[in-house]
Amino acid sequence: MTDDNNLSYNLTNAYVTCATYFASTDRNKEMRLGIVEDRVATLLDEEGDPDDRGIETGDDEQFDDPFSTATLRVGNEGQTGGKLSKPRSVLDHLARVQALLIYQIIRLFDGDPRSRIMAESLIPVLSHWCKQMLDSALLSSQYVNSAISSTNAKTKANIEKKLNSDWNAWILAESVRRTWLVAGHMQCIYQLLSYGITACPGGLMFTTRAGLWQAESAYEWWAKCKGKDALFCPSLESGKYLLKPGVADDVDDFGSLYKVMVFMLETLERTHVDKMIDKIQQRLGGYVLVNSWYQLLVELEDT
C-alpha cells in the first residue's frame, strides 16, 4: 500500500532479498540464506526495541484478540539501542512488520534446519511487533470503521479533502489488518506443521469487496463503497461469511486467498500432522512452500 518511491529502507531490502532468494539455485543455497541472515540482523539492529531481546528468549506471544487488552500507544516505541529516537508512525510499524514477515516466511519454510531454528526464536518478536503495530493504528482503525459514511461538507474542495482523507485512512488501516492476519496465520500453520499444536491467532474485521483496492481515486473508491456493501468481514467467520449466496463472486483476491489460508489451518487441525508433513515434503518441498507464502505477500502489497 506504500508508494513505490517511498518504501522504507528495510522493506526495500526485504524485497531485494526475496528476488535474490528466488533467483538462486541449490549451488548457492548457503549464500542466499546467509544474505537473509544478514538482513534480519540489520532489521533487528535498526528497528528493534530494547525489550525485543527478552522476548526472543521468553514465552511465545500469541496472536490473541488484538483489542481485548490493547492500549493506545501511538508511535511511542521509539527507543532503539537504549536511546530515544523519533517515534514510529503507523507506516513505520507496518514496514518493519512486513519486512520481518518476509524473512520469517523464507527461513521457516525453506527447509534448512539452522535457518528454521533462528527464525523460530523470532516468532515472539514478530508477534510483539504486530501488537505494537495494532496499538499504533488504533485511532486510525476506529476512524476508518465509519469512513464510508456520507460527507456533510458544503464545498467541492471540502468534499475532495474529506474523501482523500477517508481513502488514505482506509488504505492504511486495511493494510495493517491484512498484514496482521497473514502474520498470525502463517505462524500458526508453521507451528501446526512442526509441532502439531498451536493457538488461535485471533481475529480482525477486514474489507473484502472486489474493486475497492483497484480504485484509482478517492472518488472512485467512495462510489464503489456507496454502490455495494463493502463486505466488512470478521476473519474468524470468514469461511461462513464469504461463502454466503451472492457474496462469493464479489470477494477480492486477498479475501479468496485468506479463505484458502483459513481452510489450510482448519485442515491441518483435523489431519494427523506427521502424515501431512511427509506429504508436503515429498510433493512440494520447502522452496515451494516459501513461494506460496510469497505469492500471498505479493497480493497483499498489490493492494
Give CA–CA dist 54/59, Å, rounded: 10
Task: Answer yes or no: is pLDDT of 243 > 90.
Answer: no
Task: Specify which of 55-69, 176-190, 202-216, 267-281 reaches the highest per-range mean pLDDT.
Answer: 176-190
* Residue 292: per-residue pLDDT: 56
* Other C-beta atoms lying within 10 Å of the C-beta of residue 18: 20
Q: From 154, 135, 9, 145, select the one nearest 76 (Cα to Cα).
A: 135
Q: Average pLDDT for residues 45-59, to the nearest whole number?
A: 70
Task: Specify which of 1-15, 22-36, 268-282 reaches the highest per-range mean pLDDT.
Answer: 22-36
Q: From 177, 166, 170, select the one nearest 238 (Cα to Cα).
A: 177
Residue 5 C-alpha cell reads as: 518511491
Q: Average pLDDT for residues 165-183, to the nearest whole number?
A: 89
* Residue 114: per-residue pLDDT: 93
Task: Answer yes or no: is pLDDT of 234 > 80.
Answer: no
* Residue 50: per-residue pLDDT: 76
Model confidence at 98, pLDDT cuts 50, 70, 90, reads: very high
Q: From 134, 12, 158, 19, select the one nearest 75 (Cα to Cα).
A: 134
Q: Which residues contact 144 (CB under 8 A, 6 or more apart)?
A: 166, 169, 170, 172, 173, 174
Let me know: does 293 contact 109? Beta carbons within 8 Å. Answer: yes
* Residue 200: per-residue pLDDT: 75
Strands (DSSP E) contained in the chain are 79-80, 83-84, 205-207, 232-234
Q: Average pLDDT for residues 280-303, to the nearest whole number?
A: 53
Q: Average pLDDT for residues 178-206, to the nearest whole number?
A: 83
Q: What is the DSSP string of 181-236?
A: HHHHHHHHHHHHHHHS--------EEE-BTTSTT-SSHHHHHHHHHHS---EEEGG
Let me know: does 102 contact 18? Beta carbons within 8 Å. Answer: yes
**Number of Cα atoms under 13 Å in the Cβ half of residue 196:** 6
**103-139 pLDDT per residue, tens:** 999 999 998 999 999 999 999 999 999 999 988 888 6
* Residue 100: per-residue pLDDT: 96
Give the percent of the chain with pLDDT over 90: 21
Task: Answer yes or no: is pLDDT of 67 > 60.
Answer: no
* Residue 94: per-residue pLDDT: 94
Model confidence at 93, pLDDT cuts 50, 70, 90, reads: very high
* Residue 199: per-residue pLDDT: 75
What's the predicted TM-score (pTM) here?
0.74
Q: Average pLDDT for residues 287-302, to the nearest whole number?
A: 55
